[in-house]
Structure 1
Amino acid sequence: MAVTIDDIAKAAGVSRATVSRVLNDSGYVKDETRKKVLKAIKELNYTPSAIARSLSKKKTNTIGVVVPEINNPFFGEIIKGVNQVADEHNLNLILCNTDEDVDKELKALKLLKEQRIQGILITPTSTDSDYNSEYLWTIENLGIPVVLIDGHVKYSNFNGVFIDHIKGAYDAVKTLIDEGHEKIAIITGRMDSRPAKERLAGYKKALKMHNIPIREEYIFYGDYTHEKAYKITKEILKMKDRPTAIFVSSNMMVLGCIKAFDEENIQIPKDMAIIGFDKVEVLNIIGMNISFINGPTIEMGKTAMNMLIDILQSGKTTETEIKTIKLLPQLVLKGSEKFIE
């Protein structure tokens, strides 16, 4: 049976209120009485509840982190960066995974508010078409600082840390063009998300800058899942005038492309070149050299956590001036971008 404050009070011969003052280091307690309480705590092997302490202090030493895909290495590395900074400041994390479900995200936000956390780091799963009055009211009335990580909340302004998706996509497609490719397809993410729109914009920008016509039949609309990318890649490989290269807008979709290539005996880059957005660690492990745009995910997590800490230290729950930071991605070439006639 768990030891309670009442057990300590009885053992020390003091009131429950006195034990509470000792535990929370609040209010006056005689040294002799304090020693009795501490002795009872030690003898009974009592561990104070962090939740109970937070209720008395009206806040916790905890930060909420909300992500849409915990199984995606992209978010795993962001969380790693967040956790590194949190450890340095003795902060705890509560992690919520929404599975890209707006209702789950709404539930997570309400839960975190009930836990009296100090602030929230979030990559919103909500898309331009998903927002509703309950969601907007909830996130705008949390009463605690919110920092966005590479995601946006339509109709609202929050501090945030983002990747320059246009530059990343532009660099990838420019590299393919420099290698000699002119027939370049793109598999986009969900077009109701800003990163997907910006990556498509970067793709088009690179083609325009190099006087290559934008062919609508080479633009394929995905949804960030490997299943959808697999089906799209099958379609691409059946095209009469098929492209010689594909720019894939997410790491998970790259896996779908690879599966389709394997089934159709397509060799990279001999039969088809490919560059993805974000790395796929498993491909490195098995020695498959796929070029990719490397988003600074760990740095993004660190930067977002530091931004939140700065806000907390300022004592403001909301910012009069919204601060956003855009981090530059890097192109990592491994040979899959080559043009082989």
Structure 2
Amino acid sequence: MSVTISHIAKVAGVSKTTVSRVLNENGYVKEETKEKILKVIKELNYTPSAIARSLSTNKTNTIGVIVPDIMNPFFGEVIKGISEEADSHNLNIILFDTDDNIKKELKALKLLREQRIQGIIITPTSVEDEFNSEYLSALESLGIPVVLVEGHVKYSNFSGVFMDNIKGAYQGTEALIKAGHKNIGIITGRMKTQSAKDRFIGYKKALAFHGLNLKEQYVFYGDYRQEGGYKFTKEMLKMEERPTAIFACSNLMTLGCIKAIYEEGLKIPEDIAVIGFDNLDMVNIIGMNISYINGPAREIGVRSMKILIDSLSNKAHKEIKKITLMPKLVLKGSEKYPKAKTKKGAK
């Protein structure tokens, strides 16, 4: 026989309302009565239904997490940081992967609203360049705390955790310049996103500071995906005067870049230098030694969760918090000037 609140109330000699107050930790109950009810619950081996509890309290101990690409190691680390912090506060996570699709994201927001979650951590899709009233309305109408991660929503004022992408791209480009490079190719991210714009700005600032002109023929507008890094690297390698170095603005594009280089029978950095953005431990663990700008992905996840938890515990004081974390340049040797001085890529 399944145990119900009514059964517990009968055995304990109290009302169902009193039992409900003890289970939901909501409302005053004498300590003596509370101990009596808890003893009965233990004896009957009763486990309260999460669904029933959410119906009575109009909320769950669950938060929603929405990312654009779960296959991207960067977001894997962000999710790990969120999960670690959530676990320490007995919070559950419902995760959605939108594939950077606005329709999928709106669907995810609708489903999360139906789940009566407490808050949302989200990396919004590429709508930063345009105003989407339906999208903004969907977020604001949730009526719960929203924390942005590495993405912006136009005309909104949500809390968020971001990375200094300008600083990171500047550091990476400058490292190549100091290694002797003057012709530096770049594969940008999707330029509708602020992160991609900022990384391109950092690249241009480093060139300008060191007295180098921006060469449009070395600028390739990518999409943060491996296929884009592969395609545009192939194009660069076919140039009569190819760049001596490539700055790939995401980890996945760097993987595509590396694949294209080795397919052409070339080596890094003997034939061409490479610096990537975001952690590249997955290739460096096998001894490839690719330099990169390390974005603090896990810390971004932890800090975003801390902001959300603070918002949940201080609902009366809705402070907007925006945190910017610094990336770190990790040099492994792939930034060095090529030894091979062929016509393609000659200094």
- TM-score (structure 2 length as normaliser): 0.88
The amino acid of 2:56's aligned partner reads: S
| Distance of aligned partners of 1:266 and 1:92 in 2 relative to their CA distance in 1, 3 Å threshold | same
**CA distance 1:58–1:100, shift in 2 (3 Å):** same
Tell me how far 1:162 sits from its aligned partner.
Answer: 0.7
1:113 is aligned to 113
| Conservation of the 8 A alpha-carbon contact between 1:9 and 1:37 | no
Deviation at 1:61, TM superposition (A): 2.3
Q: 1:326 to 1:55 in 2, by over 3 A?
A: same
Query: Which position in structure 1 is the counterpart of 2:47?
Result: 47
> 1:4 & 1:131 partners in 2: Cα distance?
50
Change (3 A) 1:227 1:32: closer
Say yes or no: does 1:166 pair with 2:166: yes
Deviations 1:291-331 (A, max 9, x none): 00001111111221222222223224744xx3311111100
**For residue 209 of structure 1, what is the aligned residue in structure 2?**
209
Contact 1:144 1:318 in 2 (8 A): no
Secondary structure of the equivalent of 1:120? strand
Alpha-carbon deviation of 1:195? 0.5
1:325 maps to: 323
- 1:305 paired residue number: 305
Alpha-carbon separation, structure 2, partners of 1:177 and 1:21: 66
CA distance in 1, matches of 2:333, 2:160: 34
1:117 partner letter: I
Q: Which residue of 1 aligns with 2:337?
A: 339
In structure 2, the residue matched to 1:176 is: 176
Q: Using the TM superposition, name which of 301-310 and 285-294 deviates more.
A: 301-310
Per-residue CA deviation, residues 169-202 of structure 1 (Å, 9 max, x unaligned), is 0110111000000010000010111100110111
5 Å-filtered alignment, 1:80-229, equals 80-128=80-128, 131-229=131-229
Between 214-223 and 148-157, the greater mean CA deviation after superposition? 148-157
1:126-173, Cα deviation, whole Å (9 max, x unpaired): 323565322111112221111111110112121111111011001101
TM-aligned CA distance change 1:2 to 1:268, over 3 Å: farther
Contact conserved, 1:66 with 1:121, CA < 8 A, in 2?
yes
Conserved? CA contact 1:18–1:29, under 8 Å:
no
- The letter of the residue matching 1:207 is L
Task: Find the aligned partners of 1:254 and 1:265 in 2 and give their Cα distance.
Answer: 17
- The reply on whether 1:250 has 2:253 as its aligned counterpart is no
- In structure 1, C-alpha distance between the alignment counterparts of 2:3 and 2:104, rounded to whole Å: 35
Alignment RMSD (CA, Å)? 2.5
- The offset of 1:256, in angstroms, is 0.6
Return the offset for 1:340: 2.8
Runs of 5+ unmatched residues, structure 1: none
1:241: how far off? 0.8
Question: How much identity, in percent, do the aligned residues show?
Answer: 62
- Tell whether the 8 Å contact from 1:145 to 1:317 is kept in structure 2 after alignment: no
Q: Look up the match of 1:279.
A: 279
> In 2, distance between residues paired with 1:205 and 1:32?
69
Taking structure 1 as reference, are residues 243 and 324 closer, same or farther at Cα in structure 2, changes over 3 Å only? same
Q: Which residues in structure 2 correspond to 1:33-44 (within 5 Å)?
A: 35=36, 38-39=39-40, 41-42=41-42, 44=44
Query: How many pairs are equivalent?
Result: 338
Quote the offset at 1:228 in angstroms.
1.5
CA distance in 2, matches of 1:274, 1:242: 13
- Whether the aligned pair in 1 keeps the contact of 2:130 and 2:154 (CA below 8 Å) is no
Deviation string for 1:190-235 (max 9, x for gaps)?
A: 0111100110111111111111111100000100110111111111
Q: Which SS does the other structure have where 1:220 is aligned? A: strand
Alpha-carbon offset, residue 99 of structure 1: 1.5
Residue 131 of structure 2 contacts residue 155 of structure 2 at CA under 8 Å; is this kept in 1?
A: no
Structure-2 separation of matches of 1:250 and 1:198: 13
Q: Any idea what SS the aligned residue of 1:93 has? A: strand
Q: Tell whether the 8 Å contact from 1:187 to 1:249 is kept in structure 2 after alignment.
A: yes
* Structure 2 portions without partners, runs of 5+: 340-347
Alignment-derived partner of residue 75 in structure 1: 75
What is the Cα deviation at residue 28 of structure 1? 5.4
- When structure 1 is superposed on structure 2, of 188-197 and 298-307 the one drifting more is 298-307
Q: Indicate if the aligned counterparts of 1:102 and 1:130 stay in contact, CA closer than 8 A.
A: no
1:266-292, Cα deviation, whole Å (9 max, x unpaired): 100011100000012320222211000
Runs of 4+ in 1 over 4 A off after TM superposition: 1-19, 25-38, 41-44
Offset of residue 78 of structure 1:
1.2
**In structure 1, the residue corresponding to 2:87 is in which secondary structure?**
helix
Distance in 2 (CA, whole Å) between partners of 1:34 and 1:178 is 70
